[in-house]
Amino acid sequence: MWTFLARRLMQSIVVIIGVTLISFISLQIGGDPTYLFVSENASTEEIQRTREALGFDRPLHIQYLDYVWNVLQGDFGNSLSYGQPAMGVVLEAMPATIELTLFSLVLAIALSIPLGIYAALKRGRPADGGIMTFAMLGQSIPNFWMGIMMIMFFGLYLQWFPISGHVPFLEPLFAGEFRTAFANLPQSIHYMIMPALAVGTYTLARNARLVRSSMLEVLQQDYVRTARSKGISERRVILHHAMRNAWLPVVTMIGLEFGFLLGGVVVVETVFSYPGIGRLVFNAINQRDIPVVQASVILLAVIFIFLNLIVDLVYARLDPRVKL
Amino acid sequence: MTEISSAPLAAQAASPAPAHRGRALRRAVRSMVDSRWALVGMIILVIVTLVAIFGPALAPFDPNRQNILMRLVEPGSPGRGDSVYWLGSDHLGRDVLSRLLYGARVSLLVGVAAIAVGGTIGTIAGLVAGYFGGWIDDVIMRLGDIQLAFPFILLAIMFLVVLGPGLVNMILVLGIGQWITYARIVRAQTLSLREKEYVEAARAMGDRTLSILFRTILPNIMAPLTVIASFNVASVILSEAALSFLGLGVPPDVPTWGSMLSESRDHLLSNKWWLAVFPGLAIVLTVLAFNIIGDWLRDFLDPRLTRDN
């Protein structure tokens, strides 16, 4: 177990170094990065001053080492539009984004597992066809369009859900104000349902298909036949024998899904004017606020890497065949 | 079909001998007609392709011509003379249908070109990694791991913000974002193929490495690559739409489905539904077609990979 952990930790560190390298390259790829940090009508002296202040006149390898050192300290420079440290601005928007991502992950998984299992049990019948058609459609709808359509129908026409905004749950929770947090919870969910469904539909669809095929495979295994022939109730066979193994591919996907969902959240937050990292990145893109874009992307990547690490460890516990 | 056993089936389907080609094609058409969905997907795909090619001839209006008098008119409203705004007009009085028809070009072009870029890089990297193994394999695969550590859309955002919007930048970023998918599959296949007798035979006959890689191994792994490419075009079109939506796509004078949706957001509250509905439907139908074709191709080219097991 410990060697496995150590090896995975080492891998994660290598990957994080790679992440800093890629983000450094992304800064340099368009030529002199100084121009990214000054306004369009800056004078030559101002450009030169900024270049020296930010150290872009030094050799590349020195710049890189310096960049890594700053990144390690969470220092991405000041946001060009807020005038505060970029990381601070990003961290402020973080809880809302995590909240939305987690909620859409939970929603997607909670719906995809029963749907996938039901489709597998009704294989070839209309229910299976219907679920799989929806799954196919769900994988083909852009999440932001889904958001726009939901705003039009459920928000503006039926007026069931608010079309923008956010009631914080995690923020008061982390601040230790449990009473406020749980008082906010129903409102918080009410505000998050539409964006979370928009973000999670693709994952829901993909996982439903995954669970179905995984379940079909497991149902053909000898141990399921053995369990049935022992006279165990069908319900117990499915819940205790089949599902345990049908789970595994879903668990592996969760880490990857989280990253995928984070990407989706960035786009969908914009649609719902949801005050998270996505909207921050969207505004930063329009104002070419590079420090904020970089800080957001790297922070999300690091979160993603650690989540994958955790998922691997959970997977190793769930499936004893994984060599530790 | 009886003379073909399961293992070489994929290879046969991908690179049939000339005598078999006609038969394979007939088999493909029959299989497509049998699974009605695949036929529907194919028909959608043909229509979208025709629209992309002949868009300018089909479009009733110049997609960029603004007409202040005809702002935000509803679908079916008559224009000047015989012209009709079949799908309505946008906030600058531009015809939605014409913009939609032109938008097909960007979506298809970006989708196919990005896959060509990513597929080529990934296939070469995978062949090299799988065939030679050792440190070169390690380096290529670790590079892939690092790239996969980024949620893809974030990586694309980071590069496009610096590079600036543009068709070529978009294709390169989306293409390079996909290489690792191909590299992994090609590597895995190459690893198993390089021990096969016919590859050893080619080696024994003194074939050069390049010839072994591209003439002996590559034709035998085209089947899974084709399947992946089909799904991949779908996801690249979705990514392109998302990036255009965020304002990172092609320049504003080129109509794209993503940027049309982005503009539609300002008119949601005033219930100008046609601005949001039609570009979205165009994306969904195109992506759906590629996904359906991908599913069918997987079943057709490699029965061992069928959806059910």
Tell me which residue in A18, A145, A148 faces B146 most closely, judged by beta carbons.
A18
Query: Considering only CB atoms, which chain B residues are within 8 Å of A266?
Result: 153-154, 157, 246
Residue B246 lies in a domain: yes
Query: Considering only CB atoms, which chain A residues are within 8 Å of B273?
Result: 152
Distance from the Cα of B93 to chain A's closest Cα (Å) equals 22
C-alpha distances in angstroms, B303 versus A139, A208, A235, B226? 23, 22, 32, 14
Q: Which domains does chain A have, with CATH numbers?
A: 2-72 (no CATH), 86-323 (1.10.3720.10)
pLDDT at B65: 82
Binary contact (A260, B151; C-beta < 8 A): yes
Lowest mean pLDDT among A158-162, A224-228, B8-12, B195-199: B8-12
Query: pLDDT > 70: what percent of chain A?
Result: 97
Residue B101 lies in a domain: yes
Half-sphere exposure for A204 (CA within 13 Å, toward CB): 23
- Is the interface score ipTM higher than 0.85? no
Query: Considering only CB atoms, which chain A residues are within 8 Å of B230?
Result: none
Query: Considering only CB atoms, which chain B residues are within 8 Å of A143?
Result: 242
Residue B71 lies in a domain: no
State the average pLDDT over residues A296-317. Answer: 80
Distance from the Cα of B142 to chain A's closest Cα (Å) equals 8
Task: Give the orientation angle of helix B36-58 with respect to helix B18-34, to 10 degrees.
Answer: 100
Q: What is the rounded CA–CA span in Å between residue B181 and residue B175?
A: 11
Q: What is the CATH number of the domain that holds B125?
A: 1.10.3720.10
Binary contact (B283, A145; C-beta < 8 A): yes
Distance from the Cα of A18 to chain B's closest Cα (Å) equals 6
State the average pLDDT over residues A300-315. Answer: 80
- What would the pLDDT profile of A247-303 be if each residue is shown by its tens digit? 777 777 776 777 778 888 888 998 898 999 988 888 887 787 888 888 888 888 888
Query: Considering only CB atoms, which chain B residues are within 8 Å of A209?
Result: 307
- Residues of B (153-192) whose Cβ lies below 8 Å from A: 153-155, 157-159, 161-164
Number of domains in chain B: 1
- What would the pLDDT profile of A55-113 be if each residue is shown by its tens digit? 777 888 888 888 888 888 888 888 878 888 889 899 988 889 989 999 999 999 889 88
pLDDT at A320: 64
Residue B144 lies in a domain: yes
> What does the block give as tokens for B80?
């000047």
> What does the block give as tokens for A168?
């914080």
Among B161, B233, B238, most A C-beta atoms within 10 A, so best to mutate, is B161
Residue B124 has pLDDT above 90, yes or no: yes
Residue B305 lies in a domain: no
Q: Is B139 on the interface with A (CB under 8 A)?
A: no
Q: Is B307 on the interface with A (CB under 8 A)?
A: yes
pLDDT at A321: 62
Query: Considering only CB atoms, which chain A residues are within 8 Å of B308?
Result: 123, 213, 216
State the average pLDDT over residues B272-291. Answer: 92
Whole-model pTM? 0.85
- What would the pLDDT profile of B244-262 be if each residue is shown by its tens digit? 888 888 887 888 998 898 8
Q: What is the rounded CA–CA span in Å between residue B242 and residue A147?
A: 12
Residue B309 lies in a domain: no
- Residues of B (266-285) whose Cβ lies below 8 Å from A: 268-269, 271, 273, 276-277, 280, 283-284
Residue B1 has pLDDT above 50, yes or no: no
Q: Is B40 on the interface with A (CB under 8 A)?
A: no
CB B55 within 8 A of CB B82: no
Four-residue CA torsion sign, A125, A127, A132, A134: positive
- What would the pLDDT profile of A101-121 be if each residue is shown by its tens digit? 999 999 998 898 889 988 988
Print the domain residue range for B289: 2-14+29-66+85-300
Q: What is the rounded CA–CA span in Å between residue A84 and residue B160?
A: 24
